[in-house]
Chain A
Amino acid sequence: MSEADERAIVRSEIRWAVVAIAAVSVIMLAVIFAAIAMHINPPSNVERINPQDLHLSAEFTEANLGTKVEANGQITARIVATQFAFVPRCVVLPADRPVTLRFSSPDVIHGLLVSGTNVNTMVVPGYVSQVHTVLRKTGDLLMPCHEYCGLGHSEMSGTIRVVPSAQFRPGPDGRVACAAK
């Protein structure tokens, strides 16, 4: 191979390296833009909770599950992911308002996504998974478990019922539940 041929190969490899660096840079800038300008970040809450007495602890007792409007107006849905269901199976949330979803598991690792949204997190026993979001679409959104959790995994799904903000009417205790169908 002549020296000129070798130089041509080195030039083409340098050009290709520039293309690869440019592609990675574009992706990195897009991710940083989404994080800073659009507030789209991976859920990163680190909060311990004892999975052995989850159903006895103050926050995830059965009576405290589901959607609640806190005294400061913050809307929080608390859901237990357990083999093989989400408890409660259905939660109501308003569209176009900031909401917080809090999950925990008493048994094994679960995961979930809410279809048509960027909500997507693992639910690890011993931790509280927390996701802040604003839901744009109204209707029943499917929330399947996406981490294999046992033989009933494929049957494990819940529903996020997104209603127009005007139709979101909490009771005197600040709670809102899915109406029985």
Chain B
Amino acid sequence: MHEDDHDGLTPAQIAEAMKATPRGALALAGITTGLLMAAWLAMYFLVFLPRGSVG
């Protein structure tokens, strides 16, 4: 296969795929960041605060 073949896709098809790519990246980043925040908040409220005062 030649490099210029673009995996058999036409420039129009590639442009269409590139439009959707940022939405996918945002969805992936949003889900992973959301899970990270949820895990942090769960540790904070379910483990850290119930263990009580220290200082």
Task: Tell me whether A52 is interfacial, beta carbon within 8 Å.
Answer: no
Task: Tell me whether A44 is interfacial, beta carbon within 8 Å.
Answer: yes
Task: Tell me whether A118 is interfacial, beta carbon within 8 Å.
Answer: yes
Q: Which of A8, A42, A118 contacts B52 (CB 8 A)?
A: A118
Given contacts A23-B37, A40-B48, A12 and B22 within 8 Å (CB-CB): yes
Q: Which of A12, A42, A116, A135 contacts B55 (CB 8 A)?
A: A42
Inter-subunit contact B53/A133 (CB<8 Å): yes
Q: Which B-chain residue is minimally distant from A45 (CB atoms)?
A: B55
Given contacts A23-B37, A34-B48, A16 and B26 within 8 Å (CB-CB): yes
Q: Which B-chain residue is minimally distant from A121 (CB atoms)?
A: B54
Given the complex, which residues of A lie within 8 Å of B22, measured CB to CB?
A: 8-9, 12
Given the complex, which residues of B lie within 8 Å of A164, measured CB to CB?
A: none
Which residues from 102 to 131 on chain A have a C-beta closer than 8 Å to any C-beta of chain B? 116-120, 131
Given the complex, which residues of A lie within 8 Å of B49, measured CB to CB?
A: 34, 38, 40
In the assembled complex, the Cα of A119 lies from the Cα of B51 at a distance in Å of 9
Which residues from 2 to 50 on chain A have a C-beta closer than 8 Å to any C-beta of chain B? 8-9, 12, 16, 19-20, 23, 26-27, 30, 34, 38-44
Given the complex, which residues of A lie within 8 Å of B41, measured CB to CB?
A: 26, 30
Task: Tell me whether A85 is interfacial, beta carbon within 8 Å.
Answer: no
In the assembled complex, the Cα of A136 lies from the Cα of B33 at a distance in Å of 33
A contacts with B: majority SS = mixed
In the assembled complex, the Cα of A132 lies from the Cα of B52 at a distance in Å of 11
B contacts with A: majority SS = helix
How many A-B residue pairs have C-beta atoms within 8 angstroms? Tell me: 63
Given the complex, which residues of B lie within 8 Å of A34, measured CB to CB?
A: 44, 48-49
Q: For the side of the interface on A, what is the size category?
A: 20 to 34
Given the complex, which residues of A lie within 8 Å of B54, measured CB to CB?
A: 39-41, 43, 117-120, 131-133
Inter-subunit contact B26/A136 (CB<8 Å): no
Given the complex, which residues of B lie within 8 Å of A116, measured CB to CB?
A: 51
In the assembled complex, the Cα of A20 lies from the Cα of B22 at a distance in Å of 17
Given contacts A19-B33, A136-B50, A136-B51, 18 further A-B contacts (CB under 8 A): A12-B26, A16-B29, A23-B37, A38-B49, A38-B52, A38-B53, A39-B55, A40-B54, A41-B54, A43-B55, A116-B51, A117-B52, A117-B54, A118-B48, A118-B51, A131-B55, A132-B55, A136-B52
